Amino acid sequence: MESISARERVYRARRIGTTFGRVYLGIKANQLVQARWHPADMRERWSRFNRRSAESIYDAAVELRGLVLKGCQFLGSRSDVLPREYVEVLSKLQDRVPPKPFSVVRRTVERELRRPIEDVFEEFSVSPIASASLAQVHAARLRGGERVAVKVQYPEVAALVRSDLANLRLLFRAIDVIERKIDLMPLIDELGTHVPRELDFVSEADNAERSAKQLSQRTDVRIPRIHREWTTRRVLVMEFVDGIKITDVAALRAAGIDVQRVVQTLIEVYCEQVLVHGFFHADPHPGNLLVEPGTARLVMLDFGLAKELPPGFREAVVRVAAALLKDDADGLAAALFDMGFETRTGARGALAPAARFFLDFAARFREQPFVNPRMFEQLGEEMPEMIRENPIVRVPSHIVLIGRVLGLLSGVSRSLGSRADLLRTLLPYALGQRGAAPPA
């Protein structure tokens, strides 16, 4: 594992501090203008400021990579916390990372496997087939001829994560001292929990194998087999599966694949993971979802971010669903409280405005003849304002991840022109009427 120099640590601390410091000072300046002069165009001013701020953070993330890039990708999914402009800009960071030279990849693989690369692989592509914030993936062929995909972690990334976490914790603690009404530390705590897990490829292999076992009765989904003998904390070797990117509609149709069936399979798989097994793949962006030509099976990749749900989650979902169906604001507020939503006062009744918001959304949703992906995008746009206007100070991390999954799945559904009936698919799983096997 490589380290970073003191000079680089200082530079990164200064770059992080100045970038987020300028954003913070800009927020205070806009708040002052709004409070004293109440300009008529204040909404437009905030929108322009938010977009400029997001773009400056985007530039810093691309330059610094490591945890900053990964964290900004994560924040790009947090519509419950950030204004729409930040989400729009930061969500574009996914997989926008230049790859490392092959010499670096070779050195990492040989150090991890403790032998020359030629002793394990007959072929190993010089150029990666994918590169992301923490690692890049190369196509290869094992001795014996089997095609594999090799995920190789960037050598310095673990040191960058530790350094950046320390810098961000210091910065956000300083903001917390000044801004008593804002609690940013839960965001850093989530990053500090999730990102180190993604750096452990043995844990990722465990997640993939666990998911494969749980979904083994399904014939419409495939998770690549892991080669444990060549997998370490920083190198992951898995079965290579040819596939078409799930959002490449033209290629799917050219291959004779029913895109509506693909979306239905995707929804069913996530319903089963969340509501039957209580363990789900939490990063279903289009780069991690393929469709296998010929079989039309859904292929799921990259289990670095997976989440185990707390006991009783499905029962809580049933209570939420019952309250939504009965238009019961008090029952929904109680269910949200029991699921871990927190308010400044700590009172269950303080969640009543949030409950009414979700009931109004559900009423609009029920008016749709089929699932309209745009509905979830509207929810993502409206929910942050609701949270800021109401005394909610914490949304449970598993709810955040499920919300992120819903947002990503709705984007995929919209790309494929889906007409899937989400409620009809979800309710049998929520009520315990569906097991692990797919429909005949």
- The angle formed by the CA atoms of residues 22, 26 and 31, to the nearest 5 degrees, is 150
Mean pLDDT computed over every residue of the chain: 85
Lowest mean pLDDT among 72-86, 89-103, 299-313: 72-86
Write down the residue that tokens 């914790």 correspond to.
169
Q: Could you tell me what percent of the chain has a pLDDT over 70?
A: 86
The phi, psi pair for 303, rounded to 5°, reads -100, 25
* Residue in 283, 328, 360, 421 annotated catalytic: 283
Lowest mean pLDDT among 19-23, 162-166, 376-380: 376-380
Compute the distance between CA of residue 328 and CA of residue 335 in angstroms, rounded to an integer.
11
| Residues in the chain, overall count | 440
Alpha helices in 38-156 (DSSP H): 42-64, 66-75, 84-90, 102-113, 117-120
Please give the pLDDT value at position 188.
78
Please give the pLDDT value at position 110.
98
Lowest mean pLDDT among 72-81, 124-133, 176-185: 176-185
Report the helix count and the strand count for the chain, using DSSP H and E.
Answer: 17, 13
CA distances from 329 to 35, 117, 161, 332 (A): 33, 61, 43, 5
206 is catalytic: no
For residue 420, what pLDDT band results from cuts at 50, 70 and 90? confident
